[in-house]
Amino acid sequence: MEITVRVNGEQVVRDVEPRLLLTHFLRDELRLTGTHWGCDTTNCGACVVRLDGSPVKSCTVLAVMADGASVDTVEGLAHGAELDPVQEGFVTCHGLQCGFCTPGMLMTSRALLDRDPDPSPQAIREAISGQVCRCTGYENIVRAVRWAAEKETAEETAEKEASKEEVTP
């Protein structure tokens, strides 16, 4: 079946079997191997991507179900050479060890901050509660997301201040 999916902003057309899972579509058809294939049983969250903005486990979505939708993967997170603040936070706060869960954690964290720019540590823990870090590095993941939230809030405040100065004669 022919499907058209907007992947990281670019339109992709492919002919796929209906039983192809979205994870394998991304990894094997599009060679976007940043999305990891973990438990295969909707538990671990290594495969999280955003489907029309919502973070979902792509091992439990058929590629054909994404026909006409937009899919965002970890490859689309950075803005050119500049890392997304969430990625920067993971680097700065040591939010990853082996790195296997990281793409999924990043996508969920980005979606959380888009919805709630100032999440409490508890809200972050809830948001990532469907994901497993087998290095058990959860403390640093929570710190990394807080770091990103604070950076974005600071940047926004600075921008507002700057625009105020512009209008003030």
Residue 29 CA to chain centroid, in angstroms? 20
Q: Which is nearer to another protein, 34 or 151 (CB)?
A: 34
For residue 64, give the DSSP letter: G
Distance in Å, CB of 25 to another protein, minimum? 13
Name which position in 62, 88, 92, 146 contacts another protein (CB under 8 A).
62
- Interaction between residue 158 and another protein (CB under 8 A): no
Q: Per-residue DSSP letters for 79-141? A: BTTBPPHHHHHHHHTT--SS-SSHHHHHHHHHHHHHH-SS--HHHHHHHTTT---TT--HHHH
Residue 4 pairs in a beta bridge with 13
Residue 150 CA to chain centroid, in angstroms? 18
- Interaction between residue 56 and another protein (CB under 8 A): yes
CA angle 89, 152, 116 (to 5 degrees): 95
Residues 91-130 binding another protein (CB under 8 A) are 108, 126-127, 129-130
Name which position in 11, 54, 122, 168 contacts another protein (CB under 8 A).
54
- Interaction between residue 71 and another protein (CB under 8 A): no
- Interaction between residue 42 and another protein (CB under 8 A): yes
d(CA 41, CA 54): 19
Q: Which is nearer to another protein, 22 or 144 (CB)?
A: 22
Interface residues with another protein (CB under 8 A) are 1, 17-19, 21, 40-42, 45, 48, 54-57, 60-62, 64-65, 67, 108, 126-127, 129-131
